[in-house]
Structure 1
Amino acid sequence: MRIVIAGGHGQIARQLGRLVSQDGHDVVGLIRSAEHVPDLEADGIGWQQLDLEDTSVERVTEIVRGADAVVFAAGGGADGNARRKETVDKGAAIMLADAAVAAGVRRYVMISSMGQDRIEEDSDDVFQVYLRAKRDADDHVRAQEALDWTIVQPGKLTDDVPTGTVQVGDVDYGSVTRGDVAHVLAEVLETENTIGKTFAVVAGDRPVAEAVRKL
């Protein structure tokens, strides 16, 4: 399977890339900076340099054409820049979905976020801007009949050592390691039972593969 990961140098994306490449898949990470190339090459995955905030649907379509799946793992960063929540977390996710449709790539996996039930429409708080951007991107993806989509909504992300166990589905807000989210995404890419589903993921006691199979 050929998998294209948008935001390929991100912490979850790199862990996902290593997992699926070790399983024999052909992985290409989309990266904004040439400085990221050595890291991806060290991970054993391919790369394409592309600034998702300065490109077109047509260019992204060219890159993803021929892929079996695309994963949106890009983010506007943790620097408090509200504008980039709109251009990356929303705009780039929508662009990747539209490019996948144009290229005939059906499988689309999105890293989104829990907390959308607590959105404040008129708030200028950066986290609220982020949640609204994620909601709008999720809605756009779900509306695409040409996509076999799955939307994964992690809780608060941590850099703790992955446990290999999670809770998924309709769960209370909590935290989860980035490594465990990457493992969930790898399982999602290997299974069809998550197609057309949106689900949350937090730390738990069920092995990842079992948790994903039972969704």
Structure 2
Amino acid sequence: MSTIAIVGGHGQIALHLIEQLRARDHDVVALIRNDAHTSDVEQRGATARRLDIEQQDADAFASVFDGCDAVVFAAGGGPDGNIGRKRAVDLEGSLKSIEGARIAGVRRFVQVSAIGVDLPLPEDTDDVWRAYVEAKRDADVALRESGLDWTIIRPGRLTDDPARGSVTLGDSVARGEVPRADVAAVIAEVLHTGAGIGRQWDLVTGETPLDEAVASA
């Protein structure tokens, strides 16, 4: 059993992840900005701690990571057209999480990114989408260079479909969809088994049972 902090603890993947980790007897600290979200995470078995990703610094991140054995960065700037939030949350939030983990002495770090963010973007790419992709790309670069025991999960297009329990997972896979519940299950499997340190995997729905996919990727 370990204690795992989730940055972006009220996000859709995070809420699935809380349940997945609790089912394996891990303790979960869900980091939330809005007190109104406390009951949602506590009902799923997590402990809520307050963290404003955009306003607080790395020392504050380190403080809320106190007593944790791993950090999952699952935060995102949301679906709106605010370019500034893509940088403030998806990139700077990740950078502060990485530094906060270092300060707190937490070595294990799993980051939720997005498939294909290393690929060149067409010249006519929408400005908001460009900001999102570049933020995720740069956050992944920073984590790979951090010296932490990192894993990066890059899911395809996220859906709210029920979990299938079978995926395609690898260094580079064809684009596709994947339920948020299966993304959470892969993260939980990685944390529970210790698999994937120093690895970056694309993730979409597939035919391989999830535990086998993680073990063989």
Query: CA–CA distance in 1 between the matches of 2:141 and 2:160?
Result: 28
Sequence identity of aligned pairs in percent? Answer: 46
Q: Which residue of 2 aligns with 1:213?
A: 215
Query: CA–CA distance in 1 between the matches of 2:22 and 2:208?
Result: 24
Q: Which residue of 2 aligns with 1:34?
A: 35
Instruction: State the TM-score, normalized to the length of structure 2.
Output: 0.95
Deviation at 1:39, TM superposition (A): 0.6
Counterpart among 129, 132, 138 of residue 130 in structure 1: 132
Deviation at 1:79, TM superposition (A): 1.1
Q: How has the CA–CA distance of structure 1 residues 90 and 121 changed in structure 2, closer, same or farther, with 3 Å as cutoff?
A: farther
Query: CA–CA distance in 1 between the matches of 2:24 and 2:118?
Result: 36
- Over 4 Å off, 4+ runs: 121-124
Deviation at 1:121, TM superposition (A): 8.3
Amino acid at match of 2:178: V
Q: Which residue of 2 aligns with 1:196?
A: 198
Query: CA–CA distance in 1 between the matches of 2:23 and 2:213?
Result: 21
Q: Which residue of 2 aligns with 1:74?
A: 75
Deviation digits for residues 89-126 of structure 1 (CA, Å, limit 9, x no counterpart): 00001110111011110000000001214333875521
Q: Which residue of 2 aligns with 1:24?
A: 25
Structure 2 unmatched runs, 5+: none
Q: Which residue of 1 aligns with 2:159?
A: 158
Q: How has the CA–CA distance of structure 1 residues 189 and 212 changed in structure 2, closer, same or farther, with 3 Å as cutoff?
A: same
When the two chains are superposed, the root-mean-square deviation of aligned CA atoms in Å is 1.3
Alignment coverage as a number of residue pairs = 214
Query: CA–CA distance in 2 between the matches of 1:121 and 1:104?
Result: 40
Give yes or no for contact 2:51–2:64 (8 Å, CA) kept in 1.
no
Give yes or no for contact 2:70–2:109 (8 Å, CA) kept in 1.
yes
What are the equivalent positions in structure 2 for 1:43-122 lying under 5 Å apart? 43-120=44-121
The farther-off stretch of 118-127 and 97-106 is: 118-127
Q: Which residue of 2 aligns with 1:140?
A: 142
Give yes or no for contact 1:173–1:202 (8 Å, CA) kept in 2.
yes
Q: Which residue of 2 aligns with 1:179?
A: 181
SS of 1:78's partner is coil
